[in-house]
Amino acid sequence: MAGGWTGKILDVDLTTGKISWRDTHRYTRDYLGGRAIASRIAWDEIPDGIDAFDPENRIIITTGPLTGTLAPTSGRTVMSGLSPRLYPKTWYTHSTLGGWFGAEMKYAGFDGIVIQGKSPRPVYLEMRDGHARLVDAGDLWGMDARQTQITLKERMGAQAQILAIGPAGENLVRFSTVQHAEDNAAGHSGFGAVWGSKNLKAIAIRGTNGVAVAHPERLMREVLELGTYKIAPFSGALYTSLYTKTKTAREHRPVCSQACTFNCQVGNYGKASDGRRIPGHCVGGIAWMTPDFLKATQYSGGGVEIPPARNFGMCEEAELHELCNSLGLDSWFRLVMQPWFVRCQQLGVHQIRGYTFDPNDVYWFEQFMRDLAYRRGLGALFADDLMRAMDELEGELPEELIALGRRLEFAFGFPAHREGRFWDEEPLPFWVISAMMYASETRDPTIGGHHSSLMLADFVLADHEVGRRQLRILSEKVWGDPDALEPTFEGKAPVAIWSQHQHMLIDSFPLCDFSFPRIIVPPESREEWLAAEDLTGDLDIDLRLFAAVTGIELSRAEVFWIAERAFTLERLMLARAGRHRQMEEQWLAPHFMLPCRVDGTSIDPEGFARILDEYLAARGWDLEYGWPTAETLRRLGLEDAIPTLEAYRRERTRLIPSESPLAVHLSS
């Protein structure tokens, strides 16, 4: 028996209240699941020319064939649609979240949900074993995301799984989250505000069915052989760098996803003042709970000064973390806003529009978080995120502060990430790979960076000689070119493209991007690593898990073709929004002129243009717009998109102006 998918995607029109479903298998052969299926639905159904807050924007929630099974870390969910956080206009992107929601949705009989329209009054969507209905949420509106979940669990049972927005989403804060469980969130893309704009408070699911598995014994064997990995710090500078295999991970770290049997170093428990444990992950977990973490945001170079900010103490951080999740704010806002306010103080600015601030004072910060979520006082100004706040404050504040605000979210409104300057230690060539991703993707290269760049970069940082020698062997095996990760500016497009396709697959099976693909063999210790010749790992575990669950055997070439097609559709969504090569080049190049924080390397605008030329040529995209050529679309079986894209090429007014908002600062 074939397994994996349930076969149904729920369609909900909030305007009319109509609920129906479509067959998942319309998409599975060409798009597998998750983020890839969402890319097709988005291209077909999100209308041209609308903003994220238009009722016609879609909330596309998708799982994949592995969700709900024993495949480790597979309990993930992808949320897609037009994101209100993006700047200067909103476009299509995605956020992924772990937890238990996606699995419960499968157990209730659905692979995904596509939501459109706007409800005339606050509602939540209730799903139980094959049935769905909209329920009045008048009593939940105004409630925080945590209490909303607890309330709905009281109604539907402790095993019900819930997505909910908090006050930040209701008040259309552009970096508001859709929350799940303690600290899972579709965070970065600001989809909480899209829910708020649609009057959708929550989705509550209870399912008592299962997910069919084609080869149960094979799945069991694969999982037992994979074992319980510990994701351990390596060089000490980074937290997600590699995995050591241990029989039993007894360090008692929390998991963020159903079926995760790994012991993840980016997860940690904090303690509330009432003694409750509070689990946290990544920026919201180990980061916020590590003393002096916010010193890591310090940067000085190329005329840019980002001061260190202050951690507030472990207990305070844990409670702030819970508050952040209850209000429904993307915790990343803090990494850009707290240092920005500290810099204001350093430059003698102690109030903005009559509001005083003290970013290193926990009481002020807590109040600021609430003010952001409810759009009060200074919070009202920053609820549209740093880029839009800088537009608002231009001329009122010293030029350096406006420039700094724009630089901190240089990636079209997303905070700097994996770019080797403000955040993350990415030496050459890893930041070049990230730069290519920034210029071509819908969002920051979060995860493509995690496995392809950061984890491998960590070896070079730990011991340059040893790391480089091992990476040459690995590069030969994985990319057929020993120079693929040499610290140069040339020849990096194949790694960037490979990472983007791997990432698309990981988001579509789905699996955790911290744990897969297993590009390296996990050494047990530093000594073992130093003695190792070849680190190359088992890159086909994902395909074996997929085959065990679905009964379908696919080759790497076949799944890469699927990934490329979906990635191309995402690029077409960017073309629809008017993003294009010239604009991407001019907006992004200034950031990469700054010296890299670990090795001081940088690139001038001419060099930046050259790396984009290389990337676009390798993709089969044109050099002028950076959009797929007709030939490439034909190769991928996307002929139906050719006339639309040709029409976009003729409409010059569609294009977002190329001049970067930083240009004014650079010329002065």
Partner 1 sequence: MGLKMGKIKTDASVCRECQACTLACSLYHEGECNLSLARLQVIKDMARYEFQILICQHCESPECLAACPSEAIVLNEQGVAVIRDDVCVRCGACAEACPYGVLFYNEARDRYLKCDLCAGRPDGPLCVAICPVGALVLEDRVTEEA
| Of 144, 107, 97, 148, the residue nearest 256 (C-alpha) | 97
Query: Which residue stretch of 131-139, 219-227, 332-340, 637-645 sits at the interface with partner 1 (rule: CB under 8 A)?
Result: 219-227
Instruction: Please select the residue that binds partner 1; options are 47, 120, 138, 210, rule is CB under 8 A.
Output: 210
Indicate the SS3 state at residue 137: coil
* Least Å from the CB of residue 75 to partner 1: 8
The one-letter amino acid at 534: D
Q: Is 185 in the site for partner 1 (CB under 8 A)?
A: no
With binding defined as CB under 8 A, does residue 63 bind partner 1? no
What region does 109 belong to: left with phi over 0, alpha with psi -120 to 50, or beta?
Answer: left
Q: Does 209 bind partner 1 (CB under 8 A)?
A: yes
Q: How many CA atoms lie within 13 A of 122 on its CB side?
A: 17
Q: Which residue from 258, 268, 297, 331 is in contact with partner 1, where contact means CB under 8 A?
A: 258
Closest to 582 (Cα-Cα) out of 650, 632, 655 = 655
Which residues ranging from 3 to 22 are in contact with partner 1 (CB under 8 A)?
A: 3
Q: Residue 226 CB, nearest distance to partner 1 (Å)?
A: 10
**Residue nearer to partner 1 on the CB measure, 261 or 367:** 261
315 binds partner 1 (CB under 8 A): no
CB of 50 closer than 8 Å to CB of 42: no
Residue 131 engages partner 1 in binding (rule: CB under 8 A): no
Q: Based on CB atoms, which residue is closest to partner 1, 317 or 458?
A: 317
List Cβ neighbours of 109 (8 Å cut-off, separation of 6 or more): 6, 8, 129, 130, 207, 209
For partner 1, which is the closer residue by CB, 215 or 468? Answer: 215
Least distance (Å) between residue 429 CB and partner 1 = 35
Site for partner 1 in 402-441 (CB under 8 A): none
Residue in the block written with tokens 């973490």: 293
**Segment near partner 1 (CB under 8 A), from 44-52, 208-216, 460-468, 478-486?**
208-216
Which of 7, 88, 216, 620 touches partner 1 (CB under 8 A)?
Answer: 216
CA distances from 614 to 416, 494, 575, 590, 620 (A): 23, 10, 19, 19, 10
Among 29, 248, 354, 606, binds partner 1 (CB under 8 A): 248
Binds partner 1 by CB under 8 A, chosen from 46, 249, 309, 638: 249
Instruction: Select 214 or 577, whichever has its Cβ closest to partner 1.
Output: 214
Residue 482 burial (CB count, 10 A): 14
**Least Å from the CB of residue 546 to partner 1:** 14
CA–chain centroid gap for 509, Å, is: 16
Specify the residue, 155 or 276, whose C-beta has the smaller distance to partner 1: 276
Give the containing element (helix H, strand E) for 309. none
Find the binder of partner 1 among 123, 278, 373, 455 (CB under 8 A): 278
Among residues 310, 294, 287, 305, which one has the least CA distance to residue 359?
310
**Which CB sits closer to partner 1, 98 or 590?**
98
* Strand partners for 206: 128
Applying CB under 8 A, does 252 fall inside the site for partner 1? Answer: yes
Note if the bond before 445 is cis, omega within 30 degrees: no
Q: CA 488 to CA 471: how far, in whole Å?
A: 14
Q: Which residues of 221-244 are buried (b: 16+ CB within 10 A; e: fewer)?
A: ebbeebbbbbbbebbeebbbbbbb
Quote the least distance from Cβ 249 to partner 1, whole Å.
Answer: 5
Nearer to partner 1, 226 or 387 (CB): 226
Q: DSSP letter for 641, please.
A: G
Strands 200-206 and 184-186: unpaired
The crossing angle, in degrees rounded to 10, of helices 430-440 and 581-592 is: 150
Among 131, 155, 221, 276, binds partner 1 (CB under 8 A): 276
Name which position in 19, 135, 223, 521 contacts partner 1 (CB under 8 A): 223
Kindly indicate which of the ranges 257-265, 327-335, 469-477, 572-580 contains the residues binding partner 1, using the contact rule CB under 8 A: 257-265
Angle (nearest 5°) at CA 112 between 499 and 548: 60
Which member of 2, 220, 531, 666 binds partner 1 (CB under 8 A)?
A: 220
Task: Rank residues 279 and 523 by Cβ distance to partner 1 and give the closer one.
Answer: 279
Q: Least distance to partner 1 from the beta carbon of 220, Å?
A: 6
Q: Of 72 and 169, which has the nearer Cβ to partner 1?
A: 72
- For residue 647, give every residue at least 6 positions away whose Cβ sits within 8 Å of its Cβ, in sequence order, or none: none
CA–CA separation, 412 and 103 (whole Å): 33
For partner 1, the binding residue among 28, 39, 63, 69 (CB under 8 A) is: 69
Q: By CB under 8 A, tell whether 2 contacts partner 1.
A: no
Residue 142 token pair: 């105004």
Residue 324, both tokens: 């952040």
Stretch that binds partner 1, among 195-203, 244-252, 443-451, 660-668 (CB under 8 A): 244-252
- Between CA 254 and CA 59 the distance in angstroms is 29
- Alpha-helical runs (H) found in 239-360: 314-327, 333-346
Residue 262 found at the interface with partner 1 (CB under 8 A): yes
Is there a contact between 189 and 93 (Cβ–Cβ < 8 Å)? yes
- Identify any residues that bridge with 179 across adjacent strands, giving them in sequence order: 164, 185
φ, ψ dihedrals at 301, nearest 5° = 170, 150
Shortest reach from residue 163's CB to partner 1, in Å: 14
Quote the least distance from Cβ 168 to partner 1, whole Å: 20
Size of the site for partner 1 (CB under 8 A): 48
Q: Which stretch binds partner 1 (CB under 8 A): 218-226, 385-393, 505-513, 642-650?
A: 218-226
Beta carbon nearer to partner 1, 424 or 542: 542
Separation of alpha carbons 1 and 15, rounded Å:
39
Nearer to partner 1, 380 or 552 (CB): 552
Kindly identify the residues of this chain, within the stretch 144-183, that bind partner 1 according to CB under 8 A: 146, 149-150, 153, 158-159, 181-182
Biggest CA–CA distance in the chain, Å, is 69
Query: Minimum distance from CB of 507 to partner 1 (Å)?
Result: 20
Token look-up 């979060």 returns: 446
User: Site map for partner 1, 85-124, x if CB under 8 A?
Assistant: ---------------x--x---x-----------------
DSSP structure string for 518-558: --B---SSHHHHHH-S--B--TTHHHHHHHHHHS----HHH
**CA 204, CA 104: separation in Å to the nearest integer?**
10
Window contacting partner 1 (CB under 8 A); options: 203-211, 382-390, 597-605, 640-648: 203-211
Which helix (H) or strand (E) element contains residue 47?
none
Nearer to partner 1, 130 or 620 (CB): 130
Q: Does 221 bind partner 1 (CB under 8 A)?
A: no
Q: Out of 28, 263, 297, 660, point to the residue binding partner 1 (CB under 8 A).
A: 263
Residues forming contacts to partner 1 in the complex (CB under 8 A) are 3, 68-70, 72, 75, 100, 103, 107, 129, 146, 149-150, 153, 158-159, 181-182, 208-213, 216, 219-220, 223-224, 228, 248-250, 252-255, 257-263, 276-279
